Structure 1
Amino acid sequence: MIQRLDLRGMPAGTSVDYRAVVPRAPFDVDAAVEHVRPICDDVRKRGLDAVREATKRYDGVELEDVRVPVDALREALASLDDEVRSALEVSIDRLRRTCAAELESDVTTQIAPGATVERRIVPVERVGLYVPGGRAPLVSSVVMNVVPAQVAGVASIALSSPPGPDGRPHPTVLAACALLGVDEVYAVGGAQAIAMFAHGAGECRAVDLVTGPGNIYVVAAKRLLTAVVGIDAEAGPTEIAVLADAGADAAYVAVDLISQAEHDPHAASVLVTDSEALADRVDAELAHRLPQARHAERVETALSSEQSATVLVDDIDQGLDVVNAYGAEHLELQTADASALVARVRNAGAVFVGAYAPVSLGDYSAGSNHVLPTAGSARYSSGLSVRAFCKNMQVVSYDEAALREVGPGVVALAEAENLPSHGAAVSARIGGA
């Protein structure tokens, strides 16, 4: 069901581009940009009318008002299953604690007497949070987006999620919004939601930053509108890599590979191991467990497609090279020395250490954030956090004596760059030509 790639026994000194070893699912954002361009342009020109028309066309729902009434949020919370509410409260509390620990403080550096440079941490003023609602109502994404924004101190939060047949986002999504105190909620999905946030439409004022995962059309709209609004990332299909040795529990590995494949037919599930015997046991577990999965067809498509594989390596050192090059959104370490090995991981959105830290724990209640870099972008970017909702602002304070001390150097550098008026702005204050 899942292909095998054998990297064992390579001659000494062989140079391998491990980034190219494990393929990823096709994800042509450029082509999708051309599809969403007219939608985004229409929203820019016609505002709410364009949003409503796109919602009717793509979601099959005709709405007069795309904003969800506050009473509907309260009703959804009142009707929420007690066990789900309790689980949400735990998830919110744990994430809020880790977010609070991430908060940075203002820092002031005295460069010289009378000269200071302060780095101020300033929250983004208004954000638009997107919560997918296609194959699954991702209530957890409400938590993962809202909590860090609130902890960062964002003053104005709007959230949008696609409408169901009743014209509203899934009631669990609405309940989570109410639980978190978010009352500006819109029943809008897809590219039209991102355009609504970027340009403003109806009651929705334009935002400064858009965050949250979505399908390829959401990603394409983010790319198209980056000149208008800030974005967190371009999230591709979800992915898991498991680095495991002979002692790993094959059942644990198999259920974790299945759990990510459940998201999407384009999801990637990758096992990297130095044990062919473990690979065989995992194959057997997958064959046994797949028919029992609620979304078996989707899972089988993902596991049998090109983006999923079992990669056989000579040893765990080579396995580390493979997973560091791959830069998975989620990386599990199911090895005897997992706690020591984690220090050698350079590229992953999040690392899950040991047999009892599955990715799905991080999806909900670990206290980590599940909005993570995909498609290898973990090599240079990070998951969603408080920092995504904050800006660093430099504040420069110099008195006359401090400017006189450094002024001649400023003038010299300005002349060196053939920008004499720059130097004149200093000379006018301290004397000179």
Structure 2
Amino acid sequence: MGKRRVAIVGTGQTLHRSHRPDVNGQELIHEAVRIALADAGLTIADIDAVVIGNMDHFEGINAVDCWSVDGTGGTMKPVIKLTTGGTTGSTLAIGGVHLVASGMFDRVLIVGWEKNSESDTTGAITTAFDPVWDRLVFAGAISGLAAEAQAYMARYGATDRDAARVAVRDRRHACNNPHAQLRKPITIEDVLASPMLADPIHLLDVCPRTDGACAVIMACEGVAEKLTPVPDWIWATANRHTYTYLGDVNWGELDSMSEAAQELFAKAGIREPRKEIDVIELYQPYSFAGIIWIEDMGLVERGKGAEYIWSGATDMGGELPINPSGGVIACNPIGATGLIRCAEAALQIMGKAEARQVPDAKIAVSTGFGGCMWTDMLLHGRKKPDF
């Protein structure tokens, strides 16, 4: 991770909505940047570099690093664009960590954003798949997720009712998050009665399309402690962008999550993640992922994810709360989504999560998902790491 320890010292999020006609893209970005700078007690003059990304083919803005400077304030500063599909937001966070840890910059502004209301999301995602081998079957985002869910159901006997319990949890949690797009509780019956999109996925099982932006400020040790009394120290990062073709995926298990989690926990010496981690912000774009991927992360045995969810252990007040923010099912500005998970984990560690705060959170995990079933992970801690 480099020679210097890195911490998050400020975060900012917009009001995430299905449509933000009150602002253009640069103004949306500026909204998040302004809040993050204020949170860290900084001005744009204090920032050494900017890292920014979105799903650029959604809005058709390919030089977002140049186009965005009116929003980021990055004029005459180094600006780096990172784009990795759905993992863009988490890739931005990992990129920011390495830029600071390397010694290149002391204070880095990281921005993820999306204006989905001005894009053809499904059309754009479809073009990402190979036109011969993948595109005819895996058109858009839903079909690949349905394939994963069906494979898991066949292997372990889970049901769409089990998955609906995950959606109900996250939508309930979102009611405590003023930034979330969907802040209305739902029931299991609501989920099962909603339209079927691709068997077994119902409309209320999946994330919305969102306009929104998120900004995070990272600083090196020696600077971070002066900016905030409780920095969110980044203990470790890991990622696995494992596959290129969807036909190669091990459906029913997210291998990229399993491998990244093993690396992440090994770096920090975590042997019993369910007991040692206090809160998780999981990039979970649909409900079945809340069952499958906690198994891949090593929190429970294979086939036991649904049982763990039904026990209430992942609810607020449970053994290991997952997505106190409401997660992706409640809000999904895709280029920002992974960075929002990082920001929400930081808020938990810094004790700034307000109504969605997990008491005395000391260790948190944030994840990103996207591309061809890829995974990014960050480990957050209140204590400065000594490894």
Q: Give yes or no for TM over 0.5.
A: no
Which structure has more RCO (C-alpha within 8 Å, separation ≥ 6)? 2
TM bracket, shorter-chain basis: under 0.3
TM-score calculated relative to the size of structure 2: 0.27
More helix by share: 1
TM-score calculated relative to the size of structure 1: 0.25
